[in-house]
Amino acid sequence: MITIAIANQKGGVGKTTTAINIATAMAASGWRTLLIDLDPQGNASTGLGIQNAAREFTTYDLLMGEAALPQVAQETEIPGLDIVPATQDLSGAEVELVTVDDRTHRLRKALAAPQTGFAGYDIAFIDCPPSLGLLTLNALAAADTLMVPLQCEFFALEGLSQLLQTVERVQQRFNPDLGIVGIALTMFDRRNRLTDQVADDVRDCLGKLVFENVIPRNVRLSEAPSHGLPALIYDHNCSGSRAYIGLARELIGRLPEKRKAA
């Protein structure tokens, strides 16, 4: 199973929207896909139509060792896509984990537990909270690689610098094999000259690490979560959906050759 953390400590950059739609696109491409909601806000769960009452087992139970992956993973309405949902209980996990041994490796151990057997998944995405706390560190310690959604605005560049420094520290202390699969430019507005300038600056700095496909500002992308659906299902033909389909193709091209679903 390839595990990809989707992280950016800055909020409002389209991180959860990216997690939902890239996971949906991968499932539609034939990959048996798991989305792990590691954000106490639980927006990825809501965006896939998982109501609070249906979240019997959550990422909190997984992190605290109270349930194994096969128990916490739930089917979604998207064929080939399961989710480990989150509730506000997860916000307490960060405090509880402070005194726990191996507190930064709880998620990694849960995913590698013998009873898990990776549950037959080809790929897993971890939707991280907008912070660099213990939950995000758990995701980075468990992940093979990192995808960074980056909003095309000036302050996003400062946040990216902080995140890259954190990745270096994680590589040194917790997960030497952690890589960065790519930077995804989000909320791209061609009518705004600053958007183009920021995009050019990021590409000049990081080169081919930046995905070619950019995610535009799109009303349908914003509407879809209120219907409990990914944009790819809510409006398959909108510009946002087409952009995520292109991004998924590009992501597949960057992944190592590993077993795909039949």
Pinpoint the alpha helices (H) of 31-153. 43-47, 59-63, 69-72, 90-96, 106-112, 134-142
- 9 to each of 37, 39, 57, 216, how far by Cα in Å? 15, 12, 26, 21
pLDDT in tens, 99-155: 888 899 999 999 987 655 556 899 999 999 988 889 999 999 999 999 999 988 777
Which residues are 182's β-sheet partners?
147
Task: Determine contact, residues 98/134, Cβ cutoff 8 Å.
Answer: yes
What is the pLDDT, as a whole number, of residue 131? Answer: 84
What is the pLDDT, as a whole number, of residue 83? Answer: 96
What is the pLDDT, as a whole number, of residue 262? Answer: 39
Q: 2-254: what fold?
A: Rossmann fold (3.40.50)
> What does the pLDDT average to over 10-23?
91
pLDDT in tens, 31-87: 999 999 999 999 999 999 998 777 888 999 999 889 999 999 999 999 999 999 998
What is the pLDDT, as a whole number, of residue 261? Answer: 42
- Sketch the domain layout of the chain as residue ranges: 2-254
DSSP class of residue 216 equals B
> Rounded to whole angstroms, how far apart are CA atoms 84 and 126?
9
Instruction: Kindly indicate the confidence band of residue 157, based on its pLDDT and cuts at 50, 70 and 90.
Output: confident
| The two structure tokens encoding residue 90 | 């997860």
> What does the pLDDT average to over 145-168?
84
Instruction: Kindly indicate the confidence band of residue 179, based on its pLDDT and cuts at 50, 70 and 90.
Output: very high
| The two structure tokens encoding residue 234 | 């809510």
151 — phi, psi (to 5°)? -70, 140
Which residues are 83's β-sheet partners?
35, 74
Share of the chain above pLDDT 70, in %: 95
Task: For the chain, give the mean pLDDT.
Answer: 88
